[in-house]
C-alpha cells in the first residue's frame, strides 16, 4: 500500500546529525581519550569530555566539525585549513585552481599534482564502474540549467543535445599526472570532492590522536571512531519530504553520504521541480521516483561517488549495482514513501515515530 507523502520544499538540507546522548547500552564504557573525566557513578550521559565544535562555510556548503579529546581544538583548526586548501585546488571558478587550469587548457595536456591526479583518477574510475551514471564532465549541462549561477532556466532539447556532445568521461585522457581534456569539455569534482575531503580530514584527526569525532561536510558525515563512551554515533537521516529527520542510523568509523533532490532544486515555469543531479543520458535532472540515497561506507569519496550515481541509476538499477558490488550499504527513500535498505544496515536504522508506518523493504544479496 503506497502512501503519498507531501513534498515540502526543504530549505536547509543537510543530513542532520544528532550525536544524541542515547542511553548507552555499552557496559565497558570507553573514553575516547584520557580526559579528566567525571564518569563517576556509571552514568556517562553527559560525557566525560566536552566536545569541541567548529562551524564554517566552504566548498559551497556549511560544515560542522565536532571532536573530543585534549587535542581536539588544534586538530579541528588543522582540519579546517585542509578543507580550504582542497577547496582552492579543486574549485571550478577559482582561476588558480588545478581544475580551472584543466578546464581552460584548450585541449592541451596539463600536469597535475599527485593529489588531484589521484582524485580525478578515482572519479573517472567510478564513472566507468557505474556505466557513466557518475559523469565528472557533466558541468556544461549543469551550467545550462543554471545550477552553477543560481539563475535557473530550462534549456531546450537542441541545446542539451549539443552540450551532451561535449560530455563523456571516456574522452578524458589521464596518463600518470598528465591530463588531456578535449577543448569544450569541463571537469568538475562536485560529486566526489567533499567525500574525499572527509577522508582526508578524518585521517588528519586520527594522526593527531583523535579517536572520537564527527565531521559534517554539507550532508556528508564522516564518523571518526565512535562516541567517547564507545557506543555508536546516532545520526539523524535527513527527511527528504520536509523538515527534520526521518530516522536514526547507528554507526561507528565510517562515512554516511546522502544525495537528494531536496537540497538544490528550482521550480520551472512549467511548475515542475528540477534538481541538481543530472542524468547524463538525457541531460535532464534526475526524475526517477527516488527522493534520496544514503550510502554507508568506509571511504567518504566512495560514498560520495555512489550517492550521486545510485541516485541517477534509480531504485532498480541501484539494487542491481549493489548486488554486484556489495562492499557498501545504502538506504533508498522513494518519493512515494517507501524505504529500501541493504541487509547490513537493517538493524542499524530506526525510523522516527511519525514515519513509523512507512513501508520498509530489505535488499538482500540473492
**Residues near Mg ion (CB under 5 A):** 191, 304, 307-308
Copy the grid coordinates of residue 78.
Answer: 588543522
Angstrom distance (rounded) from CA 269 to CA 54? 40
Among residues 44, 63, 99, 142, which is the contact residue for ligand ADP, using CB under 6 A?
142
* Sign (positive or negative) of CA dihedral 124, 128, 134, 138: positive
Angstrom distance (rounded) from CA 4 to CA 327? 32
Binding window for ligand ADP (CB under 6 A); candidates: 15-23, 177-185, 272-280, 318-326: 272-280
User: Do residues 278 and 290 make contact, with C-beta atoms less than 8 angstroms apart?
Assistant: no
CB of 103 to ligand ADP, least distance (A): 13
Closest by Cα among 232, 239, 225 to 331: 239
Among residues 5, 191, 224, 256, which is the contact residue for ligand ADP, using CB under 6 A?
191
Q: Does 215 bind ligand ADP (CB under 6 A)?
A: no
Selection from ligand ADP, Mg ion, none that 312 binds (CB < 5 to 8 A by kind) is ligand ADP
Angstrom distance (rounded) from CA 161 to CA 241? 32
- Name which of 29 and 277 has its Cβ closer to Mg ion: 277
- Name which of 198 and 228 has its Cβ closer to ligand ADP: 198
Angstrom distance (rounded) from CA 299 to CA 166? 30
CB of 25 to Mg ion, least distance (A): 33
In this structure, what DSSP letter does residue 269 have? T
CB of 66 to ligand ADP, least distance (A): 19
In this structure, what DSSP letter does residue 150 have? T
CB of 303 to Mg ion, least distance (A): 8
* Sign (positive or negative) of CA dihedral 328, 15, 17, 6: negative
Angstrom distance (rounded) from CA 223 to CA 237? 14
The footprint of ligand ADP on residues 292-331 (CB under 6 A) is 304, 307-308, 312
CB of 95 to ligand ADP, least distance (A): 19
Q: Does 13 bind ligand ADP (CB under 6 A)?
A: no
Q: What Rg do the C-alpha atoms of the chain give, in angstroms?
A: 21
Q: Does 219 bind ligand ADP (CB under 6 A)?
A: yes
Q: Does 277 bind ligand ADP (CB under 6 A)?
A: yes
Contacts of 30 (CB under 8 A, 6+ apart): 229, 230
Selection from ligand ADP, Mg ion, none that 278 binds (CB < 5 to 8 A by kind) is ligand ADP
- Name which of 14 and 76 has its Cβ closer to Mg ion: 14
Contacts of 134 (CB under 8 A, 6+ apart): 123, 126, 127, 169, 191, 192, 305, 308, 309, 312
* Sign (positive or negative) of CA dihedral 240, 243, 245, 246: negative
Copy the grid coordinates of residue 35.
Answer: 580526559
Selection from Mg ion, ligand ADP, none that 48 binds (CB < 5 to 8 A by kind) is none
Binding window for ligand ADP (CB under 6 A); candidates: 79-87, 135-143, 240-248, 357-365: 135-143
CB closest to ligand ADP, residue no: 190
User: Do residues 256 and 296 make contact, with C-beta atoms less than 8 angstroms apart?
Assistant: yes
Selection from Mg ion, ligand ADP, none that 245 binds (CB < 5 to 8 A by kind) is none
CB of 265 to ligand ADP, least distance (A): 10
- Name which of 31 and 308 has its Cβ closer to Mg ion: 308
- Name which of 136 and 247 has its Cβ closer to Mg ion: 136
Beta pairing partners, 178: 111, 175
What residue ranges bind ligand ADP (CB under 6 A)?
134-136, 138, 142, 188, 190-191, 194, 218-219, 259, 263-264, 276-278, 280, 304, 307-308, 312
Amino acid at each position: 500500500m503506497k502512501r503519498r507523502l507531501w513534498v515540502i520544499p526543504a530549505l536547509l538540507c543537510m543530513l542532520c546529525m544528532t550525536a544524541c546522548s542515547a542511553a548507552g547500552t555499552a557496559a565497558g564504557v570507553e573514553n575516547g581519550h584520557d580526559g579528566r573525566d567525571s564518569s563517576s557513578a556509571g552514568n556517562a550521559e553527559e560525557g566525560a569530555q566536552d566536545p569541541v565544535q567548529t562551524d564554517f562555510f566552504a566548498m559551497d556548503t556549511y560544515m560542522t566539525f565536532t571532536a573530543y579529546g585534549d587535542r581536539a581544538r588544534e586538530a579541528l583548526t588543522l582540519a579546517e585549513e585542509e578543507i580550504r586548501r582542497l577547496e582552492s585546488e579543486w574549485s571550478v571558478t577559482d582561476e588558480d585552481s588545478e581544475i580551472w587550469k584543466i578546464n581552460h587548457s584548450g585541449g592541451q595536456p596539463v600536469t597535475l599534482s599527485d593529489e588531484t591526479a589521484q582524485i580525478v583518477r578515482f572519479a573517472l574510475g567510478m564513472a566507468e564502474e557505474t556505466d557513466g551514471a557518475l559523469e565528472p564532465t557533466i558541468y556544461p549541462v549543469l551550467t545550462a540549467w543554471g545550477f552553477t549561477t543560481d539563475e535557473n532556466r530550462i534549456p531546450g532539447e537542441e541545446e542539451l543535445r549539443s552540450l551532451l556532445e561535449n560530455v563523456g568521461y571516456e574522452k578524458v585522457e589521464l596518463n600518470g599526472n598528465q591530463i588531456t581534456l578535449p577543448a569544450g569539455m569541463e571537469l568538475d569534482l562536485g560529486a566526489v570532492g567533499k567525500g574525499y575531503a572527509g577522508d582526508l580530514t578524518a585521517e588528519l584527526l586520527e594522526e593527531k590522536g583523535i579517536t572520537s569525532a564527527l565531521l559534517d561536510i554539507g550532508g556528508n558525515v564522516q564518523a571518526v571512531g565512535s562516541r567517547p563512551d564507545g557506543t555508536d554515533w546516532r545520526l539523524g537521516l535527513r527527511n527528504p519530504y520536509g523538515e527534520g529527520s526521518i530516522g536514526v542510523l547507528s554507526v561507528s568509523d565510517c562515512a554516511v553520504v546522502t544525495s537528494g533532490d531536496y537540497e538544490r532544486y528550482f521550480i520551472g515555469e512549467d511548475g515542475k521541480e528540477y534538481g541538481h543531479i543530472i542524468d547524463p543520458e538525457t541531460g535532464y535532472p534526475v526524475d526517477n521516483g527516488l527522493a534520496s540515497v544514503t550510502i554507508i561506507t568506509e571511504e567518504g569519496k566512495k560514498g560520495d561517488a555512489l550517492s550521486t550515481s545510485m541516485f541517477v541509476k534509480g531504485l532498480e538499477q541501484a539494487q542491481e549495482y549493489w548486488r554486484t558490488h556489495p562492499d557498501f550499504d545504502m538506504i533508498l527513500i522513494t518519493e512515494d514513501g517507501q524505504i529500501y535498505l541493504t541487509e547490513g544496515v537493517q538493524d542499524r536504522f530506526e525510523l522516527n515515530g511519525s514515519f513509523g508506518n512507512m513501508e520498509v523493504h530489505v535488499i538482500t544479496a540473492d
